[in-house]
Amino acid sequence: MGVFPMEVPVAEKTLDNLFLDTLKDIYYAERKILKALPKMARGAQSEAVKAAFDKHRLETETHVERLQQVFEILGKRAQGKTCPAIDGIVEEGEEILDEYKGSAALDAGLISSAQAVEHYEITRYGTLRRWAQELGLKDAVKLFDQTLAEERKTDEALTGLADASVNRKAKKAA
């Protein structure tokens, strides 16, 4: 034997590990989004866009609570894991807020950023829901179903808002 200690074999990674890592990821993401939404609401020009962000902030608080319930189901402490993807999406939203402040296109850009967040969340929750099914976590599946429905509804509402007025306003301004 040499002077170096023997390497300990890495434990086999399983769907359980992946599920927990992804749960930590979305928990971090939801908490990050919760901090970003008030800033987006304050920056929005349209009262309808402000109201949409305020409404989603309230829903996001519920999403965080549901995630905490899933951690409880697993017997784990609720904790996040840094998510570079959501950090980047939120940073892009902040850039739009700064670069388009006062312009007719600001609200269209903010809606676009919010939808990038929604699509990320829908992807994560859809995956977690499927894995929870596979792992026999029926109570978690129900919680993910509720959140997925709300995320999809928010995405549709943002599209409706953009189509109804925000995109035309951004296009017409010179």
Q: What is the pLDDT of residues 42-89, one digit of tens each?
A: 999 999 999 999 999 999 999 999 999 999 999 999 999 999 999 999
Q: Does residue 64 sit within a domain?
A: yes
Measured distance CA(132)–CA(127) in Å, rounded: 9
Measured distance CA(116)–CA(111) in Å, rounded: 9
| Mean pLDDT over each residue of the chain, to the nearest integer | 92
Average pLDDT over residues 107-111: 96
Measured distance CA(56)–CA(58) in Å, rounded: 5
User: Looking at residue 11, what is its pLDDT?
Assistant: 67
Q: What is the CATH number of the domain that holds 71?
A: 1.20.1260.10
The residue ranges of DSSP E strands in the chain, in sequence order, are none
Q: Does residue 8 sit within a domain?
A: no
Going by the DSSP 8-state scheme, the letter that residue 164 receives in this structure is I
Measured distance CA(120)–CA(129) in Å, rounded: 14
Confidence of residue 10 (pLDDT cuts 50, 70, 90): low
User: Looking at residue 12, what is its pLDDT?
Assistant: 80
Average pLDDT over residues 7-25: 84
Which structural domain, as residue segments, surrounds residue 143?
15-172
Q: Does residue 10 sit within a domain?
A: no
User: Looking at residue 13, what is its pLDDT?
Assistant: 87
Confidence of residue 8 (pLDDT cuts 50, 70, 90): very low
Total domains in the chain come to: 1
In the chain, % of residues over pLDDT 90: 87
Q: Does residue 1 sit within a domain?
A: no
Q: Does residue 71 sit within a domain?
A: yes
Average pLDDT over residues 89-102: 95
